[in-house]
Structure 1
Amino acid sequence: MEAARPADNGSRLLTAAQGPGRVLDLTVYSAAMGRPITVEVLPAADSSRPAPTLYLLNGVDGGDENGAWTMSKNWFTTTDAVEFFAGKQVNVVMPVGGGASFYTDWRADDPRLGRHRWTTFLTDELPAVIDSAFGTTGVNAVAGLSMAASAVFGLAIDAPGKFRAIASYSGCVRTSDPRGQALVNSVVLGKQGNPANMWGPPSDPLWAANDPYLRAGELRGTAIYVASGTGWPGPLDTLDGPGIHGDPVKLADQIALGGMLDAVAHACTQQLRDRLRELNIPATVDIRPSGTHSWGYWQQDLHNSWPMIEAAITE
């Protein structure tokens, strides 16, 4: 890792320390949000050679629901991402935070959730810091689950050419129709935020401007992977399944709530598939015959999408 130059946008690397195992703990100052952001990095296997970068985005809790990422559910603690990417020539970057933000730039500060300028951070500020500190190739991909599964599309659309590949697991990309607005509102309200501070009232044009379904034509040329279950219990929805630890209450919650959420994601994924076909935009769409909104399936999705991502970002 090299000494990162301060970015022209005012963002900069504040601290870097060795975290658990291969993970590097970074603190990056976001000028847009006016605060430090925790960023975890798995460096590429061979630091002497430039490598591309994969950004992994977490869901509604932002990966730090218990205060620290090491104590919370996220890509590095709840899947085998750390082991999976060991030996691979790619920098894997996991920003921490942004719960209920949809990783977008909010129109106004929220009294409860604060200032969200995640589009700016993820497309401009953070890549400049990562590229400088790790000597990357400048080629990027982004993958996200649940809330972030829609955000990855918006990031690719808002920053053309920044991400050669996007992978979306169990999400809903249509955000401006009544169902989409209801889903977004439920997420933001669930964290005691005000959805009007994000894209305004339901009639505000910002909702349509941030709807990847409506802007899908702008994704042409981007490698796309989309996955979801159907909500029906699958092979990982068992007492000995990932994260259940034999607890029947956890299993019941995963089947009931997780089943409902992926049933919704299933309908959204079908809708997106049809939209991309209509526009003649290639995409890999993996709709499993079963499976709930849960980490075991997202780990599988990450594994399954990696060959497409790797092909897109390897020069």
Structure 2
Amino acid sequence: MYRLPRCLVYLFTLCVALLPVVSAAPATAEGPARILDVRPLGGRQFEVVVHSAAMDKPIILWISHPGPGAPTLYLLNAVDGGEDGGPWTRRTDVGEFFADKPVNVVVPMSGRASYYTDWLADDPVLGRNRWETFLTRELPPLLDARFAATGRNAVAGLSMSATSALNLAIHAPGLYQAVGAYSGCTRTSDPAARAIVYSQLAAFGANATNMWGAPDNPAWLDHDPMLHLDRLRGTAVYVSAGNGMPAQHDVLNSRGVEGDPLRLADRMLVGGVMESVVGACTGPLAAALAGAGVPATVHFHPGTHAWSYWQDDVHRSWPVFAGALGV
């Protein structure tokens, strides 16, 4: 989400008018989902290649594996899927942070502009997206068997994938014991929210109509976490957002700025505006969780839309996840 266009509402109508739409639903791919390769990266880190039958393609995962008998935490990347600016493993300290934690950590190294959801139609640019099927049905049993995991899971996402994490937990009841949503505008079904979704995908040349259909398609309602928060009862929930004001990570020597004044200006101006919008979205989410009777750990903080703050979120949310995962 960090590099999205600023004129989001305007892009909504532009995307609908200009981007190609494919009406046919994805066909079912042949061949079972399976692990194709496990490549040691040193220590407890591995690169794992999994064939997704639903998407009919290999998916590369980064995994931190402490040994048998551990639960699993899935970390979803931002709107670029980790393919352009980089994934969690390059932009944060997750490798080091989880090096002594009794948990498998799984990062899919792709999924740009996909919302990590099942699309109604193939997209001319992104191709076939059946991420919900992959993440909730295909992948967990494969990893549980290969790495002797406990079957207890948590999922967390940031920016675009904050919505994804909540939707995965809502649509797969019982699969995740905890869910984290960092710096995301998680509503999808009202006109302003759909404008944001369309603009995010348009930045990558994709069309949200291929994802959840036309704006009046019920799929938009089905994928609006704000309408289904009651399904998170019994799940540990962590929600966070900044207010857009510069804070401790918005200085020249910050990670991702690296002493570059232009990068710092971009973070403070563009990232500041974006996080102020996110903060305005997250207040209603926190209130709706309370209204639905779903206990949640909510953390509001100063700061912009930047990876350093999401690294902090991982550190803060880990005790919530650990308790729910039983470690």
User: What range is the shorter-chain TM-score in?
Assistant: over 0.9
Report Cα offsets for 1:41-63 as digits up to 9, x if no partner: 0002xx2x400000010000101
| Higher RCO (C-alpha 8 Å, min separation 6) | 2
Map of 1:35 onto structure 2? 57
Report Cα offsets for 1:257-313 as digits up to 9, x if no partner: 11111111101110101111111210011011x101101100000000000000000
Q: Distance in 2 between matches of 1:88 and 1:21?
A: 13
The answer on 1:18 being equivalent to 2:40 is: yes
Map of 1:293 onto structure 2? 305
The answer on 1:236 being equivalent to 2:255 is: no
Map of 1:57 onto structure 2? 76
Q: Distance in 1 between matches of 2:256 and 2:222?
A: 37
Post-superposition offset of 1:19:
2.2
Map of 2:238 onto structure 1? 225
TM-score of the two chains, using structure 1 as the length reference = 0.92
Q: Give matches, 1:150-229, under 5 Å.
A: 150-229=163-242
Q: Secondary structure at the match of 1:86?
A: helix
Q: Secondary structure at the match of 2:73?
A: strand
The answer on 1:251 being equivalent to 2:270 is: no
Q: What RMSD over aligned residues (CA atoms) do the two structures have, in Å? A: 1.1
Post-superposition offset of 1:20:
5.4
Choose which of 303, 306, 311 in structure 1 pairs with 2:318. 306
Q: Give matches, 1:49-88, under 5 Å.
A: 49-65=68-84, 72-88=85-101
Post-superposition offset of 1:38:
0.5
Q: Distance in 1 between matches of 2:45 and 2:193?
A: 36
Q: Distance in 2 between matches of 1:255 and 1:21?
A: 37
Q: Please tell me whether the aligned partners of residues 75 and 106 of structure 2 are also in contact (alpha carbons under 8 angstroms).
A: yes
Post-superposition offset of 1:115:
0.3
Amino acid paired to 1:25: E
Map of 1:4 onto structure 2? none
TM-score of the two chains, using structure 2 as the length reference = 0.89
Q: Distance in 2 between matches of 1:87 and 1:272?
A: 33
The answer on 1:271 being equivalent to 2:290 is: no
Q: Distance in 2 between matches of 1:256 and 1:20?
A: 39
Count of residue correspondences = 297
Report Cα offsets for 1:211-246 as digits up to 9, x if no partner: 100111111111000001001111110111121111
Amino acid paired to 1:64: E
